[in-house]
Structure 1
Amino acid sequence: MLSTGISGLLSSQIALNTTSHNIANVNTDGYSRQRVNFVARNPLQTGPFYVGQGATVGSVQRLYDQYLTDQVRNATSGQSRYGTFGDLANRVDNLLADKNAGLQPALDAFYGAVQDLADFPADTPTRQALLGQANALASRFHGLAAQFDQLDQETSKRIGAAVDEINGIGQAIARLNDQIQAASSTGAAPNDLLDRRDALVKQLAGDVGVSLVPQDDNTINVFVGNGQPLVLGNQASTLRTIGDAYDPTRAEIAAGTPPVPISGQLSGGMLGGLLDFRAQLLDPARNQLGRTATALATAFNAQHRAGLDANGRLGGDFFSLGAPSVLRNSGNAGSASVAAAVADVSRLTASDYVLSYDGSAWSLKRSDGTAVAMTGSGTAADPFVADGLSLVVGGSANAGDSFAIQPTRGAAASLRVAIDDPDAIAAAVPVRAAAAAGNAGSATLGAPSITDAGDPNLLTTATITFVSATTYQINGGAVQTLPASGTIGANGWSVTLNGAPAAGDTFTISANTGGIGDNGNALALGRLADTGVLDGGNTSVGAAYGQLVAQVGSTVAQVKTGLAAQTGLLNQAQQAQSNVSGVNLDEEASNLVRYQQSYQASARVIAVADTLFQTLLGAVGGR
């Protein structure tokens, strides 16, 4: 009886300690409620029957569900990814939509100044205002490019900080694995150590997607991303950040010795959100902004070169723009070099490319791995041509050498206004058409259009003489047949004939000398606001920027939807886990009373046993 009472006392004491432990850890993150499992001690056979020997504690069980824990961990990783991605994406969205920092107001003001020039082509203040708006537009491109660069640098720094945190958590898990393995050698589960390890794994999931492989000795192996080992038993691997093979200023994640880049194998968590933001939103946005700048400069320069300035000279480039960036792979063994230029802006994409040499031929792929067909041989006389790019390869390449080509990434930052003299703005058309006073027919010529501003004879006077109503000569040259469209062209210009000419009628195309008040080219420059330049001539400069804003807005909306879904999943998983593992103070208070009463009852059994024993001793002693 004494032994039975003591067993109940000790069991109740363990139960009281466990309940107290639960109550003390009600606010401990990751703590799993513990429960005492009582078992009856082996009975003692007495004659034809067995007499019970009391109770003992079979185990102190951690109330834990691996499936629910996995759900919480996965939802934590997903929410952290979308949360990180969403915070950065919102900053880009707000930047593009900001009236003070966005591009659209500056574009509107610039083309408004061009229209003012068309209204007052000889007015010097109007010309000066156009230069001011052009410089403001270039500054707006620079500001956006600088903000994107800052986001890129911030992303790289945060990637480095996340890698350091992942390494620290991995080492802590490895140490706990070692402690758990030693503690488990007795056959009992070290509940609090297991909770602490689960909490670290959950924290790790907030940084990067993880997967676990439990081992027979109660340790776990932890893998990140697509199977990169981080913790194997009590050994932790170390991730590190290295410079990109093409751009050493851009952080990439590597593992092993020598370090092998694994950024493409990682997903989930804060780190996955940073990598996804950079690849899926930041880089495309920078490229699309640069594509817009390239389209603006290319189209405006081409039309400006087709005009005549206030000094009577043909217009030059209004904007200057840097060439596409070509980045050499740090592992290249050969001496090859690559020069890139925009050959056809209408075919230009917002993609980046990798030009690779396999030992016998060069091949081109977009950054997403899609192969791109090239024409040409890569020489200066016959360059490679693909997606609107012209590529010239020099030097000698070794097999495996490669180059990253960024056609538009740096264009926004490199955009400049190339002129500073208001009189250098080419608002007039360079040539004008005039009919001879004695023409007998009803034909008239429309305003000349410039088809080749680089033609050396553009400003040379040309006389069109009609031999008949359907044939003509230019400067007494060969007789030509008038096409059905009525278009006549030579020396880089073209005119359209309206009406019926008579034999002997003449028209003169000559330099627009003294045409400072002419606004023909200014009108053409103004029309560029709505003229298709990109995507085969279907997308204007303003529409291209609109596409950028829409793409970013769409991505932000998708991320918000994903974040809401992951947050809902996480809340549900946490609630389900809490129902199993969480501490309920009302329940623990009830258990505390129950175990207290059990303890007191066991103590009473011991007291009765003691009384009986003392009575027995007294009876024996009396004899």
Structure 2
Amino acid sequence: MSNLLNIGASGLNAAQVALTTVGNNISNVNTTGYSRQTVLQTAAISQSAGNYTIGSGVDIQSVQRAYSDFLTSALWSANSSMQGATTTNNLATTLNSALSASGNLQSALDSFYAGFSTVANTPGVASSRQSLLGNASQAATVYNTLGQQLTAQQSQVNAQIKTTVDSINTVASNLAAINNKIHEAGTNVPNDLLDQRDSLVQSLSGYIGVSAYTQTDGTISVYASTGQALVSGSKSFALQTGNNQYDASRTEVLDDTGTVVSGKISGGTLGALLNYRTNVLDSVQNQLGQSAVALATSVNTQQSKGLDLNGNQGGAMFSVPSPTVLASNLNKGTGTVSASITDVSGLTGSDYVLSYDGSNWNLATTSGQSVAMTANSDGTYSAGGLTLSLSGSAQAGDSFQIQPTRQAATGLQMVMTDPNGIAAAAALNATAAKANTGTGSISAVTVTDPTNTSLLSGATVSFPSANTYQVTDSTGNVLSSGSYASGQTISANGWSVTPSGTPAAGDSFAIAQNSNGLNDTSNALALANLADAKVLNGGTQSVVDAYGTLTTTIGTVGSQATTNLTTQTSLYNNAMSAQQSVSGVNLDEEAANMVKYQQAYQASAQVISTAQTIFSSLISAIQA
């Protein structure tokens, strides 16, 4: 009877453990990270009874998690991608909202350039000039607001980088503590600890791309996308944040040795923040700054080619900040660098690093692409539309970061306050001598160098013969001379003319300051035509075109971010479904198991009852 009793007791115990496990599964059906548990049962070793063996009941080997390494790793990877896509989409949405909320720059530019046409038609009307200045102020304000919004997002991203690194370190520390508990548990590791372990890795994967390797003792080692260990056994290795070596307002990520690893991190929220800042936000700021520089430079230059209502050479309408030069905090020498924009069309939208190797200066983009420089006779260097001036004594290893247009939009200002300062009139005109006998004529005088000090001093273009020309100043000094052919351009003192027709020998033309500004508003028309002037990107884009390209770029970034988020969310949901199909709790299945184990429990109890009845009958028979 003893064997039957033992067999019934083993079955009763097995059914009880199974029922407890089922109950635990049901109670944790909504617990995030919980893995369904099952009882592993085996038949107890049978005992020999001569020519046959009799079963000895059931043994419980373990309570196991329903778990798949492959599916769980796939879920971590999908989570990293989805969290990164979510972060990028949120930032892109904010960027698009900032663009909309800051005012329509396209409309402001259209109104500004159209104002010059109005002034050209009504040069003496004060209200037309005042309205133009109002339009100019509005355009500058929209640039400022956009620039400030982008700067604010830079600050937001830097703050998020620090917060995310703090979160990574907290999770890594908690994971190391769980690893320690798992190690101390030895071979009998509680399933709940393993679930907590995997849940922490899941959280970590949302912050940064990770690789995880499970050790033989159940602990897990986690490595960042940089290759740095975040967790190994019971130890965690904290990431750090610090200031960029050039820009103290820019947050960088460092490994536990203090090495900057921002450019190597990928995946998760942190990877998305760093990628967005470098490849989207920096680029957008630079492109907007390019547009602001082009606006100010082109308008100011054209202003200087005309005369204002007071008869003076036109002054600047806008001011724009010079390129920002930031010295590395690692510099040992006393060298300094200054930069100026000398060719707007040569600007590339890139930032640069100028470094000294002990004998030569080298220029590269911040992404590491080498840039050729031209050494000028005055000791300066030229590259990318910039002129770089060096002074002091640099040491090998010293470097400087150059941001040609990063602050231009924020710092753009309208400096003209007097409506009479609008240079609507042409600076110079040409008057044919009354004694001319040829068919030659000069319709316009083009200003080529408004900085020439003799621009307005007057000159005479004469043709000693039909095939020669001569330019003399007001005192009779010869400025230039040579052979002449029809359609040839003649230049002197910062201006040029291209006669049409055929001048006769002895014909001449007087080049003088325009004294009829209200009737000659060609410079105002030239200012209006700047709306279509190709002044950027090697002479292929106007200011209006550049802004259109920028809005398209921002829109594309937003659209791609939304599409990618949809894709990554779908992939994550698929990965979660696949993982949960193995590890998740199914209430219908658990309900069926509960009935099955309940019946097994009752049947085992009946076996015990039967054993007791037989034993009682046997005792009664012996006593009789």
TM-score range for the pair, normalised by the shorter chain length: over 0.9
**1:212 aligned onto 2:212:** yes
Tell me the amino acid that sits aligned with residue 77 of structure 2: N
Cα distance, 1:514 vs structure 2? 4.9
Q: CA RMSD in A?
A: 1.6
Cα distance, 1:544 vs structure 2? 1.2
Percent of pairs identical after alignment?
45
* Cα deviation code 1:110-163 (max 9, x no counterpart): 111121111112221111111111111111111000000110111111111111
Write out aligned runs for 1:145-224 (5 A): 145-183=147-185, 185=186, 187-224=187-224
Separation in 1 of the partners of 2:237 and 2:458?
79
* Cα deviation code 1:439-466 (max 9, x no counterpart): 2222221111111112222112222333
Query: Which of 420, 429, 432 is the equivalent residue of 2:429?
Result: 432
Separation in 1 of the partners of 2:226 and 2:309?
65
Separation in 2 of the partners of 1:394 and 1:488?
40
What is residue 567 of structure 1 aligned with on the other side? 569
Cα distance, 1:517 vs structure 2? 4.1
Cα distance, 1:574 vs structure 2? 1.1
Of 382-391 and 508-517, more deviation after overlay is shown by: 508-517
What is residue 92 of structure 1 aligned with on the other side? 95
Helix, strand or coil: the match of 1:363?
strand
* Cα deviation code 1:202-243 (max 9, x no counterpart): 111111111112111110111112211111101112222211
Query: Which of 593, 603, 606 is the equivalent residue of 2:605?
Result: 603
Separation in 2 of the partners of 1:263 and 1:464?
64
Cα distance, 1:336 vs structure 2? 1.1
Helix, strand or coil: the match of 1:467?
strand
Cα distance, 1:99 vs structure 2? 7.4
What is residue 231 of structure 1 aligned with on the other side? 231
Cα distance, 1:492 vs structure 2? 1.6
Cα distance, 1:487 vs structure 2? 2.6
Cα distance, 1:590 vs structure 2? 0.6
Separation in 1 of the partners of 2:531 and 2:547?
12
**1:387 aligned onto 2:390:** no
**1:82 aligned onto 2:85:** yes
Tell whether the 8 Å contact from 1:287 to 1:351 is kept in structure 2 after alignment.
Answer: yes
Separation in 2 of the partners of 1:558 and 1:137?
29
Cα distance, 1:551 vs structure 2? 1.9
Alignment size in residue pairs: 616
Helix, strand or coil: the match of 1:311?
coil
Of 523-532 and 461-470, more deviation after overlay is shown by: 461-470
TM-score by length of 2: 0.96
TM-score by length of 1: 0.96
* Cα deviation code 1:252-289 (max 9, x no counterpart): 111225x2222122111111111111111100000000
Query: Which of 5, 8, 18 is the equivalent residue of 2:8?
Result: 5
Tell whether the 8 Å contact from 1:328 to 1:403 is kept in structure 2 after alignment.
Answer: yes
Helix, strand or coil: the match of 1:261?
coil
Separation in 2 of the partners of 1:615 and 1:469?
148
What is residue 142 of structure 1 aligned with on the other side? 144
What is residue 580 of structure 1 aligned with on the other side? 582
Separation in 2 of the partners of 1:120 and 1:111?
15
Tell me the amino acid that sits aligned with residue 429 of structure 2: R
Tell whether the 8 Å contact from 1:116 to 1:126 is kept in structure 2 after alignment.
Answer: yes
Separation in 2 of the partners of 1:4 and 1:539?
90
Separation in 1 of the partners of 2:102 and 2:12?
76
Write out aligned runs for 1:283-294 (5 A): 283-294=282-293
Separation in 2 of the partners of 1:323 and 1:463?
39
Cα distance, 1:516 vs structure 2? 3.8
**1:512 aligned onto 2:514:** yes
Of 418-427 and 70-79, more deviation after overlay is shown by: 418-427
Helix, strand or coil: the match of 1:445?
coil
Tell me the amino acid that sits aligned with residue 70 of structure 1: S
* Cα deviation code 1:332-353 (max 9, x no counterpart): 1111111111121111110011
Tell whether the 8 Å contact from 1:376 to 1:383 is kept in structure 2 after alignment.
Answer: yes
Helix, strand or coil: the match of 1:444?
coil
Tell whether the 8 Å contact from 1:309 to 1:516 is kept in structure 2 after alignment.
Answer: no
What is residue 251 of structure 1 aligned with on the other side? 251
Tell me the amino acid that sits aligned with residue 245 of structure 2: A
Query: Which of 103, 106, 114 is the equivalent residue of 1:104?
Result: 106
**1:24 aligned onto 2:23:** no
Separation in 1 of the partners of 2:460 and 2:362?
51
Tell whether the 8 Å contact from 1:95 to 1:102 is kept in structure 2 after alignment.
Answer: no
What is residue 446 of structure 2 aligned with on the other side? 449
Separation in 1 of the partners of 2:206 and 2:612?
59
**1:401 aligned onto 2:398:** yes
What is residue 340 of structure 1 aligned with on the other side? 339
Separation in 1 of the partners of 2:183 and 2:491?
89
